[in-house]
Amino acid sequence: MTTYWCEHAQLPDKIHRGVRLTVVDGRFTEVVSDTKPRDTDTRLRGVVLPGFANAHSHAFHRMLRGRTHGDGGNFWTWRDQMYAVTARLDPDTYFALARGVFTEMVASGYTVVGEFHYLHHGPDGKPYDDPNAMGVALIAAAEEAGIRLTLLDTCYLSGGLDSAGHLPLDEVQLRFSDGSVQAWAERVEAMHDSALVRIGTAAHSVRALTGEQLAEFATVVGDRPVHAHVSEQMGENLTTQLVYGASPVEHLTDAGLLGEGFTAVHATHLSDVDLDLMGRSGAGACFCPTTERDLADGIGPACELAAKDVPISLGSDQHAVIDPFEEIRGIEMHERLKSHERGRFGVTPLLEMGTSAGYRSLGWDGGRLAVGALADLVAVRTDSRRTGGVAPAQIIFGATGADVTDVVVGGRRIVSSGVHPLGPVDDIVSEAIVAVRSAAT
């Protein structure tokens, strides 16, 4: 048994003072407010929040931070630069990079990540001796960093979609593909859940699987979490309408994928019909505000989805920024720009987007400081130049990841007073990036 005493803690109803959290076997077994610290308690100053969930991550995109803005361009030219990064990645360099990225996440307050994983095989498309070597590298990196992982192993079979139909894989995309839905499913079956890892699934997009393949995919995913990129770009909507006579959401519904356990990543360009389908199906959406503005994707219909009771989770996607507070604020600030009104979402629903909604989307019972939930939490200082004077109940509007002092995952204190057991996080990240850049292509 471990006990944490919190100066302030965000419980499901509101901020409370003097909260003692008791942990047994990685879960909260007692939550008591208005207490005094005991000698046996681990004391956490500032504001303690539930652990943050990064529901959509591409670890290798971290290599592009601050390197794609010299010549303007759009999503599709950015994608060419992203593909070029893959040439330097093998199981060893992928492990090194992911270890750095996941450590950066933990230090910033993320306690679980959904890694949207499609970089499966060697550069020529030939599987490694272990066909899951790249996924195993991601799992090992997460375990070293101390973050929960849902490995969203991704089915990716076509090179794209234009008005004539699905395109063949290009040279770079060969390593993303298993050749068929059945071959993908057989490879994924060889991986198993553990205390810190869940094996989830993803269909890359309606561009990357034909309608028949999406329908087959829907029959083999079982009860695992299912994610897919959906309506990130207007061009995707147009080509799907031309080829299938439906929007991506309608097309996924026809394939039998839209439903509870499904998360539409981005969901930026949705029609009224799409919104109704999302609401009736029980599916969720994952917004990635810092990526969607970095790539000029657009501002998604957060309020419209919320009005349909669609749960919204958050991800840092390409990692132009790794900061859960920035993603949470992005939802509210984008809505303010659209509507010219403030307070579009309250503090509690915003916090739930960054915590419990993401946990649910990734197949975990956490993201809340409550009896029975996974004992994942973060402590945020209230005396920095960013948070000084901020009301504890509104800490998400002032803090950044740099204000996180302590991170607990499964009751285990991973970050203590800003120190990660692997060493200085700045050095870990920098060394990982150097390792990838120096790798042969």
Write down the pLDDT at residue 233.
92
Question: pLDDT grade, residue 288 (50/70/90)?
Answer: very high
Kindly name the residue from 274, 317, 403, 406 that is annotated as catalytic: 317
Kindly name the residue from 56, 58, 251, 266 that is annotated as catalytic: 266
Mean pLDDT confidence for 46-57: 98
Give the closest residue to 197 by CA, choosing from 163, 122, 147.
147
Write down the pLDDT at residue 160.
95
Q: Is 437 exposed, middle or buried (0-12, 13-18, 19+ CB in 10 A)?
A: exposed
Question: pLDDT grade, residue 66 (50/70/90)?
Answer: confident
Question: pLDDT grade, residue 69 (50/70/90)?
Answer: confident
Q: Is 422 exposed, middle or buried (0-12, 13-18, 19+ CB in 10 A)?
A: middle
Write down the pLDDT at residue 59.
97
Q: How far apart are CA 221 and CA 214, in angstroms?
A: 11
Question: pLDDT grade, residue 81 (50/70/90)?
Answer: confident
Write down the pLDDT at residue 140.
98
Segments making up each domain of the chain, as ranges: 50-361
Give the closest residue to 362 by CA, choosing from 233, 196, 236.
196
Percent of the chain clearing pLDDT 90 (strictly above): 93
Write down the pLDDT at residue 67.
78
Write down the pLDDT at residue 440.
67
Residue 126, pLDDT above cutoff 90: yes
Residue 79, pLDDT above cutoff 80: no
377-380 and 42-50 beta bridge pairing: antiparallel
Residue 83, pLDDT above cutoff 90: no
52-57 and 110-117 beta bridge pairing: parallel
Residue 122 phi/psi, 5-degree rounding, is -70, 170
Residue-wise pLDDT for 199-222, tens only, equals: 999 999 999 999 999 999 999 999
Could you list the beta-strand ranges (E) of 76-225. 110-117, 148-155, 160-162, 165-167, 197-203
Residue 441, pLDDT above cutoff 70: no
* Sequence-distant (≥ 6) Cβ neighbours of residue 173 within 8 angstroms: 83, 156, 159
Mean pLDDT confidence for 397-422: 98
**Range from 66-80, 112-126, 304-318, 363-377 carrying the lowest mean pLDDT:** 66-80
Superfamily per CATH, domain 50-361: Metal-dependent hydrolases (3.20.20.140)
Q: Computed from CA positions of residues 327, 291, 57, 315, in that sequence, does the dihedral angle turn out positive or negative?
A: positive
Q: What is the pTM (predicted TM-score) of this model? A: 0.97
**Range from 11-25, 62-76, 331-345, 414-428 carrying the lowest mean pLDDT:** 62-76
Percent of the chain clearing pLDDT 70 (strictly above): 98
Phi-psi label, residue 317: left if phi above 0, alpha if psi -120 to 50, beta otherwise: left
DSSP string across 66-92: TSS-SS---HHHHHHHHHHHHTT--HH
Residue 143 near residue 221, CB atoms below 8 Å: no
Residue 231 near residue 237, CB atoms below 8 Å: yes
Residue-wise pLDDT for 231-275, tens only, equals: 999 999 999 999 999 999 999 999 999 999 999 999 999 999 999
- How does the average pLDDT of the chain come out, rounded? 96
Write down the pLDDT at residue 78.
72
Cα angle for residues 329, 5, 418 (degrees, 5° grid): 55
> Quick check: is 266 catalytic?
yes
Give the closest residue to 109 by CA, choosing from 427, 399, 311.
399
